[in-house]
Amino acid sequence: MIDDNFHQPSVLCSGETEYNKAGLLQGQAVDSSLSETGRQQAAAAGSYLRDVGFSNVFSSDMRRAQQTAEKIMQQNSSCLRLQMVCDPLLKEKSFGVAEGGRVEDLREMARAAGEPFPGFTPPGGETPDQVKLRVQQFMEKMLQQIGAEHWPAGGADVSSAEGGPDNGMGPLNAHALVVSHGAYMCVAVRYFVEELRCSAPAGCDRKRMFSLSPNAGICRFNLTVVRQGARYVVSGMRCVFIHRVGGAEQDE
């Protein structure tokens, strides 16, 4: 095992689409584009993150996520030399037969089945465990790529600063932009907290951590990464902030 290395992903939910606006489920079957509001949200996120030095950019291969990532990259000089990696492991959760229908109809399906809405899986949809497996596979893939590219040896110290787009950033040699989707991010954050023992920001409880991200909401995490043999693994994790939009935390 070598010295600690540090990785700070900024994880975003894609911007709004017309389906979001109408209260309809998109999942994987509906590959919609950003609405005008969604484009404005993505541009605002890009403005907020314009001075962050990204080392890598990863996006879901769905159109709304790619367009969100593109808006951010257009405003960030560190992205001029970067190529976006579009990965199906970051796709939104599949809602099966409920895709294209109303969110309220999915709630009714859950009530009829006697199951809680957040964890309900409609016929043909993905279970939380299936989504979590994709999260784990993406994390493994991302860490090995970033490790090979940025951490040949040694490490760096992390320092934190409050407020501003560089909140929680220190002298690191890897900072990825990751753009995915709301339901996927809910499963990912729960996995980070419950299994990777990710600590929450000061004053943030589990209800807040596990809530659905707003469109173009930004989360940032500090990962301590070590090399074990030929692999890089997470040895510690901290959430710096959660669901930040336009530089401000969202209300409970």
DSSP 99: T
How many Å apart are CA 68 and CA 138, to the nearest integer? 19
How many Å apart are CA 72 and CA 61, to the nearest integer? 16
* Structure confidence at residue 152 (pLDDT): 63
* Structure confidence at residue 246 (pLDDT): 72
Confidence band (pLDDT; 50, 70, 90) for 249?
Answer: low
Lowest-confidence pick of 50-59, 97-106, 143-152: 143-152
Nearest to 229 by CA among 8, 16, 74, 1: 1
Task: State yes or no: 190 annotated in a binding site.
Answer: no
Three-state DSSP class for 12? strand
Domain for residue 206, yes or no? yes
* Structure confidence at residue 2 (pLDDT): 41
Residue 239 has pLDDT above 50, yes or no: yes
Domain for residue 59, yes or no? yes
Domain for residue 167, yes or no? no
Residue 167 has pLDDT above 60, yes or no: no
Three-state DSSP class for 86? strand
Q: What is the pTM of this model?
A: 0.88
How many Å apart are CA 101 and CA 10, to the nearest integer? 31
How many Å apart are CA 169 and CA 219, to the nearest integer? 13
Residue 164 has pLDDT above 70, yes or no: no
Confidence band (pLDDT; 50, 70, 90) for 160?
Answer: very low
Residue 141 has pLDDT above 60, yes or no: yes
* Structure confidence at residue 161 (pLDDT): 38
* Tally of CB atoms within 10 A around 203: 7
Domain for residue 226, yes or no? yes
* Structure confidence at residue 6 (pLDDT): 73
CATH number of the structural domain spanning residue 77: 3.40.50.1240
**Most confidently modeled of 119-123, 160-164, 248-252?**
119-123
Query: Side chain identity at 134, as an amino acid letter?
Result: R
Contacts of 155 (CB under 8 A, 6+ apart): 2, 3, 4, 5, 6
Residue 252 has pLDDT above 80, yes or no: no
**Domain enclosing residue 207, as ranges:** 9-151+172-245
* Tally of CB atoms within 10 A around 249: 15
Domain for residue 40, yes or no? yes
The mean pLDDT value for 206-226 works out to 93
More confident residue, 77 or 6: 77
Domain for residue 18, yes or no? yes
Residue 5 has pLDDT above 90, yes or no: no
Residue 76 has pLDDT above 50, yes or no: yes
Residue 251 has pLDDT above 60, yes or no: no
Lowest-confidence pick of 7-11, 38-42, 234-238: 7-11
How many Å apart are CA 219 and CA 204, to the nearest integer? 13
Domain for residue 157, yes or no? no
Confidence band (pLDDT; 50, 70, 90) for 137?
Answer: very high
Nearest to 35 by CA among 48, 22, 25: 22
Domain count, the chain: 1
How many Å apart are CA 115 and CA 95, to the nearest integer? 15
Residue 199 has pLDDT above 80, yes or no: yes
* Structure confidence at residue 24 (pLDDT): 95
Domain for residue 161, yes or no? no
